[in-house]
Amino acid sequence: MLTDNLGFYLVGWKKFYNKTLALIESKKTGYDVIWIFNDDVYGKIDWSVPIDKPLEKLYVERAKQLRDSYDYLILYFSGGADSTNALHAFIDNNIFIDEIVMHLPEPVKNTMNDIDYTNQNYYSEVEFAAKVHLEKYKNLLHPNTKIRYQDFSKTGLELLEKDYWVENSPLCLSISISGILRQITQENDRQSLSVIDRNKKSAYILGIDKPLVYFDGSHYYAFFMDTSAYHYISPVNFNKTSEQINNVSTEFFYWTPSMPEIVIKQAQEIKKHCEQNNYARFMASLSLKKHITEYRDILHPIIYSSHVLEKFQTEKPSTSIYRPMDKWFWNTASDKVKNNYLEVVRYLGNNIDDKYKINNDIEYGISSHKTRFYRL
C-alpha cells in the first residue's frame, strides 16, 4: 500500500519512496533529486485566504477523521509538543485510541535518570516526560487503550546480523542507527504485527513537525521539509507491501492532504505572530538556513494548545551517525552488527553525490529537501 500522501522523490522520470535509493539513482544518472509532497493538493489552494476555523477545532476534526477512517489506531507518543498535542486532540474529546506506543531500547533502561539533560540521556524522556504525562492524564485515557513500550533494539539488531540487510529495508532519510532500527522494527517486530488483525484497517499516527515559514523581507512563504517528515521514523508503508502489513498505513497527523486546512492555518497563525513580533520575524527571515530546533520555542505557543509539556526535556539529537543517544548501540552490539551498519554508511558515502550530504560528509547525515513555496 505505497502511498503518495507521505511524499516521494523524483529523479528524472523515476519515482522513489526511499531517499537513499533516489540519491543513488541521482549519482548514476546526473538528474537532480526533487521531493514532491502533495503538491497536487496544496498547490491548488490559495494560502493567503484565511482559514476561519480555529486550530483547536481542526485538531479535533482530524482526530475524528482518523477514527472514522480506520479500525485500529496506534499513536506514537514521545512526550514532545507535536505528539502531545495530537494525543490531547483524542483524549480531551473522548475519541478512542487503540494503542499508544513509546520507543525505548532495552539497553538504556538501567541508565535512565532525570538529572542528565544531555542528548546521551535522550531516552529518559520516555520515563520522565512521556510516561509522566500519560499518568497525569490517565483519567482521560480509555480503559481499553493499550500503552506499550517498543524495544527497537532486539529486532533491529537481529536483522542487522544479516549481510546485505539494507536490500530488504532500503533507508529513507535517517542513517543514524536509532532511526534505522526504529524503521526496521516497525516493519518486522512480531509484537507490533501481532496486535494488528489482518482484517482490520490500521494506522500508525505520527505527529512529526511544524510548518516552516520564511520571510523574504516583503512576503511570507510556507514550505515543507523532508527532514521534518522523516526524522522520527520512516513510514511503514514506504518499504514493503507484504501480506503482513498490507492493511497498515502511516498517517501524519498535521501534514495531510485529507485535511490541508490544518497546516495552512498553522502557517497563517505563524505569519500573524511574526507581523507582531520583531524577533519572530527576524527568525523567519533565517528559516532557510537555521535548524527547526531553533524555532520550537517560538512556534509551540502559537500553534498548539495550552497543555504544558513536562519539564524534563533533553538536548535534541543531531543527524550525525555518531550520536550520544546511540552510545548503547556502540557498547552492546556485536562487532558484526556494527560493521554491517558501517558498511552501509560507507556504501552510501561512495554512491551519493557530496552535495546531498551535510557538510559534504555522509557521517554528518543526508541534507534536507524542500518543497515548493506557498505564499501566505
- How many domains are contained in the chain? 1
Report the alpha-carbon distance of residue 55 to residue 265 in Å, rounded. 7
pLDDT > 90: percent of the chain: 62
pLDDT in tens, 108-154: 999 999 999 999 999 999 999 999 999 999 999 999 999 999 888 88
Q: Is the pLDDT of residue 169 over 90?
A: no
Q: Is the pLDDT of residue 158 over 90?
A: no
Task: Say if 17 falls within a structural domain.
Answer: no
Question: Taking a C-beta distance cutoff of 8 angstroms, is the pair 152, 182 a contact?
Answer: yes
Task: Say if 344 falls within a structural domain.
Answer: yes
Q: How many C-beta neighbours within 10 Å does residue 48 have?
A: 13
Task: Say if 352 falls within a structural domain.
Answer: yes
Domain of 191, in residue numbers: 51-375
Task: Say if 11 falls within a structural domain.
Answer: no
Residues 6 or more apart whose CB falls under 8 angstroms from that of 212 comprise 222, 223, 224, 225, 228, 287, 292, 295
For helices 177-188 and 152-160, what crossing angle results, to 10°? Answer: 100
Residues 6 or more apart whose CB falls under 8 angstroms from that of 21 comprise 170
User: What value does the mean pLDDT of the chain take?
Assistant: 88
Task: Say if 231 falls within a structural domain.
Answer: yes
Q: Is the pLDDT of residue 164 over 90?
A: no
Task: Say if 302 falls within a structural domain.
Answer: yes
pLDDT in tens, 182-235: 877 766 666 666 666 667 888 889 998 888 899 999 999 999 999 888 766 655
Task: Say if 301 falls within a structural domain.
Answer: yes
65-67-70 Cα angle (round to 5): 105
pLDDT in tens, 276-332: 999 989 989 988 887 666 677 788 889 997 777 888 888 888 778 899 999 999 999
Task: Say if 25 falls within a structural domain.
Answer: no
Give residue 240's pLDDT band: very low, low, confident or very high (50, 70, 90): low
Q: Which amino acid is at 308?
A: V
